[in-house]
Each structure stands twice: as C-alpha cells, then as structure tokens.
Amino acid sequence: MATVITSDKHYSDIAAKIRERAETDTVYKPSEMATGVDSVYGKGIETGAQTEYDRFWNEFQDYGERTDYTFAFRHWSADYIRPKYKVENISLQAQQMFQFAKIKKLEAEHFDLAGADKLSGTVYGMFNACKQLEEIEDVGIPATNYSATWYNCTALRKIAIIRCVAGKAFNAAFQNCEALEDVTFTGEMSMNGLDLRYSTKLNRASIESVINVLSSSTSGRSVTLSEAAVNTAFETSAGATDESTSPEWAALIATKSNWTISLI
C-alpha cells in the first residue's frame, strides 16, 4: 500500500471546500470532515429536489396562471396533491379534474375551486372513481351540476360542504359511496336525482341537512336515502329501535311533505 502524506494545509483546504459547498462557517476537525461531506451531499440532493419541484409546477401550472384544469390530476398516483401555486383561479373547466386519482384527502390549503362554475357542468365527474379518497375539505366546490361528481368514491367518508342551487342535478353523484358518513348540504335543491341509498353509514346531521335543503316551493320531486342509515340515525335516546317510524324522523320529513322521500 502506498504511503499517503498529508499536512495541516490539506485538512484546511478540505474544510474550506466543505464550508463553501455547505454554505456554512463551521470549523471542522479532521475527524468531523466525513460528516461535513455528508451534509454537502444531502444539501445537494435537497437543492436538486427543490429545483425539480419548481420546474414541474411552474410548467404544469403556468407559474400560477393556469385556468383550465380539465383532467389535470387524472390518475394522480400520490396520496396528496400539494401544488406550488394554490389552485384558485379556475375560470374555464374542472370537469373530471381528479378522475381515477389515488389521493386520500383534498386539502383546502392547496385548492379553492369556487371559480369552477363559469360554464355549465364544470364539476361533472370531478372525483369520479377516486377509490382511495377519504375526505374532501371545504375546497369551495361551487353550487352547480353535481352529476357523477363522486361516482364510485367507495372509501369517501367525509365531504365538508356541498352547496346546492335550485335547478341543478345530482344524477349518480353518490353511486357506490358506501363509506360516506359525514356531509353537510347547504343552499336549496329543487331537482330529482339525489340518491344516497348506497350511503348506509350516513349520520343524523348529514341526513337532516339533506332534508333541510329540499325546496319548499316545488312539487313532484323525490330523493332517496338509505333505510339502514335512517334506522341507525333516528333511534330514540333510550335505545329503542323505532328507527324510520320514530317521531323525530316523522316530524323532520313532514316539513318537506311536498317531496317523496324514499328509503331503500
């Protein structure tokens, strides 16, 4: 083995180069230099990752100016979508925006979809077949046509707010949403098409919010709820299972006697 001769100057030069690359003023002993080199290597990876992150989102979102998000996150394979620029300036389309995505939660910190009602049907199928999706925070989904919006979201447990507007439909919006427990409906509903028969775990507050948004001024309209959900939600406090024949349920639906409320 060859003999390697070193000196204090060699150590000093190595330490100086580590400080330069690591952007630090740390004084290194020879025994600490290996750790210093590791820190430079790690910093390089971090810097490279940030550069690629910026490059991707700058291109994908047009430096925050993108307005058309049709199919934008279709087949997204990560648990979360956390873009560099908050998605909040949608003014064209958001149809089938997340279709087939494998995300678990949509977060209000990163999305404000309130502008997605500029054209008719712009949230059609927005979350269609997002089978890993568990929760949607209040991301400002506008009161519009919700046809097939949550179709086949089989793991979806919670939707913070659904804004209804008279004359807009919910055809197949919740088909196969068997895990849905918690959702708040606001506004007014005056169209047929709301069918929650698959949502057998829907809680009482959610069911009450459905009834409360039904228009009092329309007639010949119907909605469908899960009988199992109503039976569980409207048991008496004493534990008796009077279920969908309970006085509380009867009093609630009597407020919307102009609607046919079917239990399946």
Q: Which residue has the higher pLDDT, 68 or 1?
A: 68
Cα(255)–Cα(264) distance, rounded to whole angstroms?
21
- Is residue 219 classed exposed, middle or buried when 0-12, 13-18 and 19+ CB atoms within 10 A define those classes? exposed
Query: pLDDT digit string (tens) for 151-192?
Result: 999 999 999 999 998 888 899 999 999 999 999 999 999 998
Above 90 in pLDDT, residue 258?
Answer: yes
Domain boundaries, the chain: 8-52
pLDDT of res. 18: 66
Q: What is the mean pLDDT of the chain?
A: 86
| Local confidence band at 199 (pLDDT 50, 70, 90 cut-offs) | very high
Neighbours of 254 (CB within 10 A): 9
Q: Which residue has the higher pLDDT, 144 or 149?
A: 149
Retrieve residue 165's tokens: 């507007």
pLDDT of res. 76: 96
Above 80 in pLDDT, residue 30?
Answer: no
Above 80 in pLDDT, residue 28?
Answer: no
| Local confidence band at 8 (pLDDT 50, 70, 90 cut-offs) | low
Cα(187)–Cα(10) distance, rounded to whole angstroms?
74
Q: The pTM is what? A: 0.80
Neighbours of 81 (CB within 10 A): 18
Q: Which residue has the higher pLDDT, 237 or 53?
A: 53
pLDDT of res. 5: 58
pLDDT of res. 81: 96
Cα separation values, 48 from 34, 53, 58, 170, 201, Å? 21, 9, 15, 46, 46
